[in-house]
Structure formats: C-alpha cells, structure tokens
C-alpha cells in the first residue's frame, strides 16, 4: 500500500537532501574551507623620521642608499630622511619644545651632555646588548655616557683632522713637502699666494674646535669649562700666544694683504665662492685646508678628476713645540626618549651603525672611519682613510669641552670670528672670551 506524502513530510525530505548536499560539498572540497579560514592580517607599516646634517651631497646620497637597503630588509618600517643645514642641534631642541622632534637624530659629542641632561635621549643600553656595545672603541663611547652611568648613544663613525694639500699648486710654488710646523703652514700659504696667485690656506672664521690642536700642541691643557672660574683657560700663556696668531691668520692673510693690493694667502670658503672647505679645495681655489675624513668621499664623488696621490694628498696636522695634536669627532644616532616606536627606531640605528652597516656605508662607500674595532683592517678600506690612520699624534683630543660644549663652541667661535673680521681689537679678544664663557657657565 503506497504511503501518502503529506506537505510536512515533503518539506522534511527536501531539507534532508539539501543538508546532505552541503555535507558532501565540504567533504569533497576541504581546500575551499581552508581558503576561507586562512585570511592574512594586513601588515602594519610604521613610519619613523631620521634627521641629520650633511657634509655635502655625497653624504646625503650615501644615506639614501642605506635607507633603501634597510627598507628592503624591513618593509614594514618606512624612514623619512630629513636634512637640517644650519644650527642643527638648536633646531632639534626647539622641535622637542614644539612636540615634533624626529625619532632618530644626529647627536654630536659637544651637544651630548645637553641632550642627556634634558632627558631627550632614550638610553641605548636598554635596547642594545652588551656584546653589541663592546664592539665600539671606548674613547668614542665616553662622550655619550650620562652622569647616571647610562649610555645614551653609540658612535656611527668617527673622523680626525688632517691637512689636505694640492700637489700641483705646491709644485708651482716650488714646495716639495707638506709643512711640518704651524709657523711653516703660514709661511707656505704666503709662498703659494705669491707664486701661484691662489690663496695658500682656507679656514673657517671662528672655528674654536679647529684652533684647539694649535693651543694643545703649544702646551695648553685640553679646554674644559664646567664651572665659573674655568674660563681662566684663556689666561694660559700658550693660549694667549696661539689664539692671537690664529686670529691673525685671517687679519694679516686676508685683510692686510688685500689692503696692500696683494693676493690673500688665507681666506674663508665664501671668499673664493665656495660653500665650505671641501668645495674650496675641490675647485682648486686654495692649496691647503684642515678638515676631517668626511671630506674624502666628497672629493671622490664631486671632483673625480682630482686624483688622490697625483693631484692632492693628505698630511698630519703641523706640530707645535710640545708635539703633534689632532681633533677627533664622532656622532651618535640618538633615539628620541619620547618616540612612539623605540624598537623600530633601534632596528634602524642597529642596521646603520652595526658591523654590516658600517662595512657598507663607512668602509666601502668611504664615508669616514669605522667606530667598530677591527673594521679598519678591511681590504675595502679606502687608501685615503688608511693614510690618516697611519699618522702619529702625541694627543688626540675628542670634541667635548664640558657639559655646555655645544653652546660654548658657538659663542667662543663668534667672538673669534668677530676678531678675524677686525670688528674686535686683539686686546679685547681674551677678556671678551673669558666674559663669554663665564656668562654661559653662570646661566
């Protein structure tokens, strides 16, 4: 007897058939389920700002190359590179006040104490392992230690002052070797100007840090200004003698020579239509400059026809009665204490200043001198840099004059520059310098 199919039974049968079909679908096509479940979460991109100054177009291009390499390795971190051309540290401090400070920025040794005291720097020993820190030369670490013993920066590289001289202009002037003493430096500058019609030496107006090797080589102690009374450094006989000589390089070498209708034997870069010492030297407008390793890649990049060893060479700084002295400069990549991305900022710093980063930027690109031990032995080290490392000095003075070095450097240099331009008499120089230093230390 046939079963009578009611409306309700028909609906139930239809549902059973549909559910069976769905079960069979998922049993036969499990990969479809997997594709539905495995949805990747979008990668969050972090943006960080990196600010530095520049020793010319070459340095900027080299950093842009390194940033591109970093972003290939860490595609989720994007770096905005900002170049501040004037009053760098003052502008960075002002950006803190405005709440727009970059995540990473250069910190010169002379300004490190100020940034540390103001709590602007993230303690790098919270981010870096001791093994990583131990790679660096100790004398380059000390300027970045706070009074609390913490380390607030690691040196990205370093440089020392040396004498750069144009061999062709020397030959034209009948000079066969670089000057040995500071007095000979001035004598050579005069001879070159008279014989070639080109100034023998270019210097910066002011430039206290460039003057310090002269004073120390004559027996002055390294300057250190920490408390009122330390301005007495300018009363040291070696300082009194050499600072007037240094100021007179420009007063006699430029102002008096032009008044006599003669070619100046000492100029500043602007006097020969140049932006800085490297530019003046590369254009062969002057025969000698005293500069650091940062000038070497600039010359190679911007003046490729000016050949090292053939057209120009490097010599140690002239010596004084108490020996031969040079200045050492280093800069840390400081991390903003208030950055929202400390880990990402550290990854960038670690990439740039670590062994692989320095091998690429500092050694292979010839940027400056490596701050990590042993990298100077690399076969990729440029011969120009190797030569500077071969020079023997009695003292190497690190650019740091005390807790307010940055501010003092600027103010002392301003007084010296005014005297060089003839706006301040020679008799006023020492008293004005002492008053300037005292005012800063008492503030």
- What tens digit of pLDDT does each residue of 180-218 get? 999 999 999 999 999 999 999 999 999 999 999 999 999
The reported pLDDT for the residue numbered 44 is: 86
| Closest by Cα among 328, 355, 270 to 110 | 328
| 395: three-class secondary structure by DSSP | strand
**Confidence (pTM):** 0.87
Can you list the pairs that 341-344 forms with residues at least 24 positions away whose Cβ atoms lie under 8 Å? 341/46, 341/48, 341/103, 342/122, 342/127, 343/127, 344/46, 344/48, 344/74, 344/77, 344/103
CA–CA separation, 385 and 365 (whole Å): 11
Contact between residue 140 and residue 146 where contact means Cβ atoms under 8 Å apart: no
Alpha helices in 38-135 (DSSP H): 57-73, 88-97, 112-117, 130-133
| Tokens representing residue 74 in the block | 């860490």
Q: Cα torsion at 123, 353, 336, 74 (round to 10°)?
A: -120
Burial of 4 (0-12, 13-18, 19+ CB in 10 A): exposed
Give the per-residue pLDDT at 138: 95
**Averaged pLDDT, groups of 10, the chain, 443 residues long:** 46 50 46 45 84 82 94 96 91 93 96 96 96 96 95 97 98 98 98 98 97 98 96 98 98 98 98 96 98 96 96 98 98 96 97 97 95 96 97 97 95 98 98 98 92
Give the integer Cα–Cα distance in Å for 123 and 143.
14
Give the span between the Cα atoms of 419 and 408, in whole angstroms. 17
Please report where in the chains the tokens 């609390």 appear, as a residue: 148
pLDDT score, position 122: 97
Q: What is the CA radius of gyration of the chain?
A: 31
88-97's contacts with Cβ under 8 Å and 24+ in sequence apart are 88/52, 88/53, 89/114, 89/115, 89/406, 92/51, 93/118, 93/120, 96/120
pLDDT given for residue 2 in this prediction:
42
d(CA 23, CA 11): 19
């Amino acid at each position: 007897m046939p079963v009578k199919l009611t409306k309700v039974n028909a609906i139930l049968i239809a549902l059973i058939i549909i559910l069976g079909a769905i079960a069979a679908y998922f049993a036969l096509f499990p990969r479809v389920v997997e594709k539905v479940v495995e949805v990747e979460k979008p990668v969050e991109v972090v943006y960080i700002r990196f600010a530095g100054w520049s020793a010319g177009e070459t340095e900027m291009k080299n950093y842009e190359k390194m940033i591109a390499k970093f972003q290939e390795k860490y595609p989720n971190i994007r770096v905005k590179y900002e170049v501040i051309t004037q009053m760098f540290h003052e502008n960075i401090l002002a950006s803190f006040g405005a709440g727009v400070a970059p995540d990473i920025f250069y910190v010169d040794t002379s300004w490190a104490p100020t940034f540390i005291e103001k709590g602007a720097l993230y303690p790098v020993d919270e981010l870096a392992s001791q093994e990583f820190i131990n790679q660096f030369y100790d004398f380059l670490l000390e300027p970045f230690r706070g009074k609390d013993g913490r380390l607030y920066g690691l040196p990205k590289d370093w440089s020392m002052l040396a004498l750069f001289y144009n061999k062709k202009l020397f030959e034209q002037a009948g000079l066969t070797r670089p000057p040995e003493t500071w007095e000979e430096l001035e004598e050579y500058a005069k001879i070159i100007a008279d014989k070639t019609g080109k100034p023998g030496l270019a210097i910066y107006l002011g430039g206290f840090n460039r003057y310090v090797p002269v004073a120390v080589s004559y027996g002055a102690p390294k300057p250190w200004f920490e408390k009122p009374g330390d301005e007495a450094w300018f009363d040291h006989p070696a300082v009194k003698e050499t600072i007037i000589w240094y100021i007179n390089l420009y007063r006699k070498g430029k102002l008096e020579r032009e008044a006599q209708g003669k070619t100046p034997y000492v100029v500043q870069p602007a006097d020969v239509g140049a932006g800085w010492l490297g530019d003046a030297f590369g254009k062969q407008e002057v025969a000698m400059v005293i500069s650091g390793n940062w000038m070497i890649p600039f010359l190679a990049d911007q003046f490729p026809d000016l050949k090292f060893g053939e057209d120009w060479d490097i010599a140690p700084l002239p010596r004084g009665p108490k020996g031969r002295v040079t200045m050492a400069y280093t800069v840390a990549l400081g991390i903003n204490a208030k950055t929202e991305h400390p880990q990402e900022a550290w990854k960038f710093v670690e990439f740039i200043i670590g062994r692989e980063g320095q091998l690429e930027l500092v050694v292979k690109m010839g940027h400056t001198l490596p701050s990590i031990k042993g990298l100077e032995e690399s076969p990729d080290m440029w011969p120009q840099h190797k030569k500077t490392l071969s020079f023997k000095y009695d003292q190497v003075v690190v650019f740091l004059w005390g807790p307010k070095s940055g501010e003092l450097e600027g103010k002392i240099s301003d007084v010296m520059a005014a005297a060089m331009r003839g706006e301040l008499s020679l008799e006023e120089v020492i008293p004005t310098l002492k008053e300037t230093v005292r005012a800063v230390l008492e503030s």
